[in-house]
Amino acid sequence: MNLLSLIDHIPALPEMLLLLGTCVVLIADLFVKSERRTGSFVAAQVVLLLCVIATLTIQWVSGTSKFVLFNGLFVSDVMANLLKLVAYLAVSVTLVYARQYLLDRNLMRGEFISLLLFALLGMMLMISANSFLTAYLGLELLSLCLYAMVALNRDSAASTEAAMKYFVLGALASGMLLYGMSMIYGATGSLSIPEIARQISTVSNDGTQHAFLVFGLVFVVCGIAFKLGVVPFHMWIPDVYHGAPTAVTLVIGTAPKLAAFAMAIRILGTGLLDLAHDWQQMLVILAVLSMGLGNITAIAQTNLKRMLAYSTIAHMGFMLLGLLSGWVGGNLLNKTDAYAASMFYTVVYVMMSAGSFGMLLFLSQKGFECENLEDLKGLNRRNPWFAFILLILMFSLAGVPPTVGFYAKLAVLSAAVNAGQIWLAVVAVVFSLIGAYYYLRIVKLMYFDEPVDATPVPGHADMRVLLSLNGLALLALGILPELLMELCFVAIKSL
């Protein structure tokens, strides 16, 4: 019986391996004397590789089947496996990009690696959440790790201030999310997402019950919006991105977006789908405000990290276009295409964000932080190849063909048009054109301005190779986006 029980829980093997591996890395790091933390770094990469192998094996064996474990708390399906694989890749790349930066500032400690792996575990729980309880536990595990990582540089007043702001606002958002979940639990009598969907389908015609559900829905949307970083719950993003060490900013701006997207799909797109008419209107407001404020405010920024922070807000607004386009006049015929477009956009954004912050880490040196616009002046004369890679990154963020950022924006705009939200698509295009200005400004600085410092750009071989692959992948996926789009379509269809 114990053996059968163990076999039944094999779909949760990646989480078990990650938890065990993180504990081993945490304990083993006590005996690592090297400042480079080579042993801990390699061990973390090995743990991630084992998780990749386990996830691919589970997906190969299960196909499009769905497995529900732990009394309905945990689900393993195609979407969960795909997002987890992207999260592993993002965390692995983050470790490579961040390593030299942290070494130069004496911040390469076991705490960073362990917190990053525990944060990944929280993301995986959110991605596979089949209950409000699992989603909330995963969210809190992720958030607590990120709070500590922002304050990693204890001697920096800016980092400490950013961590405090993040903690206070994050606690407030978590409270709102928990309150909304409790309201929905009170109306449906369940924390299981599929059971909540069944209960709502039977009580949504009751006026009193419907009002009670919408009351809880408002708080749930607020909590999810904070984690995505959309207006008006964006206040923490510029300060945290700016105040945290750039390596930690890279962590916050990449893989957690996958987990937040998964939570939104699980809760809104599955559990609260019969309330789509209500949350769709909320997302329309959030999307328009995010695209507007994010793109317009980014123009005024001279600090690259703050500029990319407002860029994140705008991109999350675009991602919401897909989420809100699944429900059209009472039918769900557009659901799979719209949600797949939104998922595709999130995956692509993680790749673009990793490359952008990775480039800032690459250009930073011991005693020098590359975080102002003038630091990029004349980069083409200092290193033509990486100026070209940064050009691809900026073009992709701006949505310029033939990069994958163009196809990602086209996909969510098509979803909005198919949903009859033509005015919303027009607004998105206008704000996208406005946003192109601050991305193209960076290209102008790299190619047409005189460099402030004419010395060649140093950098380690592993980071050079990975950054090059990151940039070229955005170009390749822009030319051939069909495979990734098809994977996203199959993942959403499996729901």
**Helix, coil or strand: residue 206:** coil
Tally of structural domains, the chain: 1
Closest among 463, 464, 481 to 94, alpha carbons compared: 463
Amino acid at 208: T
365 bridge partner residues: 368
Run of H or E residues at 68: strand 67-69
DSSP 366: T
Average pLDDT over residues 364-391: 86
Average pLDDT over residues 324-338: 77
**Helix, coil or strand: residue 403:** coil
Domain span including residue 480 = 2-493
pLDDT digit string, tens, across residues 444-491: 998 888 877 767 677 678 888 999 999 999 999 999 999 999 999 998
Run of H or E residues at 74: strand 74-76
Return the pLDDT at 208. 74
Query: pTM of the predicted model, to two decimals?
Result: 0.93
**Which of 94-98, 115-119, 418-422 comes out lowest in average pLDDT?**
418-422
Give me the chain's average pLDDT, please.
88
Return the pLDDT at 378. 84
Number of residues that make up the chain: 495
DSSP 109: -
